[in-house]
Amino acid sequence: MKKFISEVVSTGTEIMQGVYPDTNAREISHRLQKLGILPLYHTAVGDDKKTLLDILGIARNRTDVIIMTGGLGPTVDDLTRDVVSELYGKPLVPDRKAADMIRARFAARRKHMPESNLTQALLPAGSIPLYNENGTAPGFIIYEETLHKALIALPGPPREWIPMFDNFVADFLKTHFPSSAIIDTLVLRTIDIPESQLNEQLKPLFNTLPGVTFAFTFRPGKVDIRLTASAPSSEETCQLLEDARKKILRLIDPECIYGEGDEATIEAEVGRLLTARKKTLAIAESCTGGLLCKRLTDIPGSSNYLKEGIVAYSDEAKVKYLGVRDETLRHYGAVSGETVAEMATGMKRVSGADIAVGITGIAGPSGGSQEKPVGLVYFGLATEDSIITCQRRFTGERCLIRELAADFALDMLRRTLISSTDEPDMR
Amino acid sequence: MKKFISEVVSTGTEIMQGVYPDTNAREISHRLQKLGILPLYHTAVGDDKKTLLDILGIARNRTDVIIMTGGLGPTVDDLTRDVVSELYGKPLVPDRKAADMIRARFAARRKHMPESNLTQALLPAGSIPLYNENGTAPGFIIYEETLHKALIALPGPPREWIPMFDNFVADFLKTHFPSSAIIDTLVLRTIDIPESQLNEQLKPLFNTLPGVTFAFTFRPGKVDIRLTASAPSSEETCQLLEDARKKILRLIDPECIYGEGDEATIEAEVGRLLTARKKTLAIAESCTGGLLCKRLTDIPGSSNYLKEGIVAYSDEAKVKYLGVRDETLRHYGAVSGETVAEMATGMKRVSGADIAVGITGIAGPSGGSQEKPVGLVYFGLATEDSIITCQRRFTGERCLIRELAADFALDMLRRTLISSTDEPDMR
């Protein structure tokens, strides 16, 4: 069976001017991927007739399926209908149902309809209309049966094209471009392994797993291992990914993996572990200024384990709320292991939580010194029976230093919770 | 003078799989736009040699300047060097300085360098190296003098390519591809005007400002007015934008504009006003869980005005730290105007700050009721002589509700500070 390939084409001057990133291309790729139709190219162009004609000609030539978004509005810079009509040699003809829907839409809103809106109901002769439940512009499909190729034109706004795609286009593609392979992806999210080390450790696996491809995505301090498997059935695809996962876990430290899937976060994993172990948490943060609490409370249901947080941005606040001693601050400074230990133990005491975390450091850009440079951050973690402190030196801009510090604190919590064996892991 | 055109090429399987939107293309377009080099095409492809070779061949043919990102890492799926070398017929040769920089980078971190990292120091013969201060992969420029074309290869991570572009590539382009027109953009960021109202109010200006185009960018609760001007000199471009700005300010309420430029934020404006008025601030937040403090402390120097914050996520914490009365909680509930007033006044009292803000609400997805639905948020603002409370109902997912609540609180602060006349505005 043939493997079909596709091109995602986005039109719109605001994309070319850099106003938006092209999020439609991302969402469409995701869907094509699942249907087993390989998205091989993304192309974006502005609202210019000649350019659009050129790139659609190239796309029609090199792929089986073109999915394009945008350019279906009523204004002069909406060129999709005209260009497609010209390229495919299909005159534009009015579609009565589309025209009625546009009229009804304006009537329902008690608004006057400018005549120009009816140009939206003109579709290439012989095309399959895609009626729009959430906007005025219909989309359409041109299916070239003899060449076995299709062009699918969708409106630009996600809330218009997404239902169109999911309710109709997906079925059309399954019928006319059935996939010989089911493609699926497994993402293992790691923290605290350098990319080069990961690459070295996993090298023995490259090209030894037929049907599975490896990719890495690097973010500061974190690397995602992305495995894509392709097989004739979804059972086989699952099996390939599962085998690959097992082999990877034998080559790297499994504790470095904080989650699976694009949506996995360290804060969600910390929440899961706290819930399983029935522990409560309190946070005392200085340089991260609320970020750590913010990330923990991004998770629905976090009020079950996060009791409270103090943003002790000033020395005064560290003394007042957390009972950090003046002497400690004077002697060692606000950014020190001694201070962070008192912050964590103080937070644990005043909150009555089972675990408390303290963070203090220098996020920059100013405030650093030779001895205590920008990026130096101290962490403290107080539990029933211990207090651990450590320090790290991060590099980058203020925002990055803060994110990395929050990542580190969350990861410290995660590792502590994993190794705490006084209650069984419910996983 | 010739008008140069460009193509932005992004590589990376994760873009094709729909993992990320292509934000590099956006940022690069923005910069090319300013240099007067028209970005006419965006193309993205996965890490596949034949596909990359094809699209680079097309791009080289149809444009003057190609800017590509990604594929410069040390792993097997990093293909840029090989493909460019093949297409341009320039063998890869080691660049000694690049190799030294990679070695030094590992040494500074006291890490072992896998030999594979040195493949990154191989560059096409005769290319101009772009040394990387923030990562291991150098970029490079191939300048074809006789054809008057250039290919510029940059690493994928923004913190690596952005300094390379701004410190070196921009000058290279200005010298070799000088623009006949200077294009510049002015962004006015507004909050709390509905998009339809903005559109109606500004309609008289559309098509009456030659050389200036209008665009709107809609984000939840906020609209950016984006003006792009094009003129032969930068003075003329500036003048066009300045005239447009004045005309806009006569048609809309200027207080709705919280900043100018893509980097403007409400929190930065609040910081500016607090500094100018020599006021200090403290925050007591419940449903936003640290987000408001986090956004305020994103701003460098915020420790000068933000004294402290309490994430009073539990009722217990509201009582303990802020002195909210048990009776108030029992009678009106944690999400009420009465509670938020006591949170704000309590926070002001314990912190000794000039201004204190309280937030309490239901971020969802659960916890809502008929009477107090998800998205209901109360705000309190206590100053020397007054306490203001108000409520809003936001719709959307948990994260969006929290962001909108933080936006609203920051905007409430901004408007209060603007109208406070007891100290002169230092603007």
Q: What is the DSSP string of A63-94?
A: -SEEEEE---SSSTT--HHHHHHHHHT--EEE
Mean pLDDT score, A67-83: 88
Mean pLDDT score, A350-372: 95
Size of interface A-B (CB pairs under 8 A): 271
CA torsion A269-A272-A273-A278 (nearest 10°) is: 160
Q: What is the reported pLDDT for A422?
A: 52
B349-358, B382-391, B416-425: range with lowest mean pLDDT: B416-425
- Nearest by CB: A308 against B75, B313, B402: B313
pLDDT band per the 50, 70, 90 thresholds, residue B1: low
pLDDT band per the 50, 70, 90 thresholds, residue B3: confident
B49-53, B190-194, B272-276, B421-425: range with lowest mean pLDDT: B421-425
Q: What is the reported pLDDT for A425?
A: 44
- Whether residue A97 has pLDDT greater than 90: yes
- Whether residue B427 has pLDDT greater than 60: no
- Whether residue B378 has pLDDT greater than 60: yes
CB A308 within 8 A of CB A324: no
Given CB atoms, is B298 within the 8 Å cutoff of chain A? Answer: yes
Residues of B with Cβ-Cβ distance to A41 under 8 angstroms: 43-45, 51, 55
- Whether residue A423 has pLDDT greater than 50: no
ipTM above 0.90 for this complex = no
- Whether residue A28 has pLDDT greater than 90: yes
Q: Percent helix, strand, coil in chain B (nearest 5)?
A: 45, 25, 30
Mean pLDDT of chain A: 91
Cβ-based burial of B402 (10 A; exposed 0-12, middle 13-18, buried ≥19):
buried
Judged by DSSP in three states, A189 sits in: strand
Non-local CB neighbours of A34 within 8 Å, separated by 6+ positions: A183, A184
pLDDT band per the 50, 70, 90 thresholds, residue A1: low
Residues of A with Cβ-Cβ distance to B321 under 8 angstroms: 308, 310, 321
Mean pLDDT score, B211-222: 80
- Whether residue B202 has pLDDT greater than 90: no
Q: What is the reported pLDDT for A421?
A: 63
- Whether residue B426 has pLDDT greater than 50: no
Task: Scan residues 196-235 of B and list those with Cβ closer than 8 Å to A.
Answer: 215, 217, 226, 228
Can you tell me the distance from the alpha carbon of B361 to that of B391, in angstroms, rounded to the nearest whole number?
Answer: 9
pTM: 0.79
In tens, the pLDDT along B221-279 reads 898 888 889 888 889 999 999 999 999 999 999 999 999 998 899 999 999 999 999 99
Task: Scan residues 235-264 of A and list those with Cβ closer than 8 Å to B.
Answer: 262
Q: What is the reported pLDDT for A426?
A: 42
Given CB atoms, is B395 within the 8 Å cutoff of chain A? Answer: no
Largest CA distance in chain A: 85
Residue keyed to tokens 């937040």? B285
Q: What is the reported pLDDT for B308?
A: 96
Cβ pair B312:A310 closer than 8 A: no
Mean pLDDT of chain B: 92
Q: What is the reported pLDDT for B424?
A: 47
- Whether residue A103 has pLDDT greater than 60: yes
CB A111 within 8 A of CB A81: no
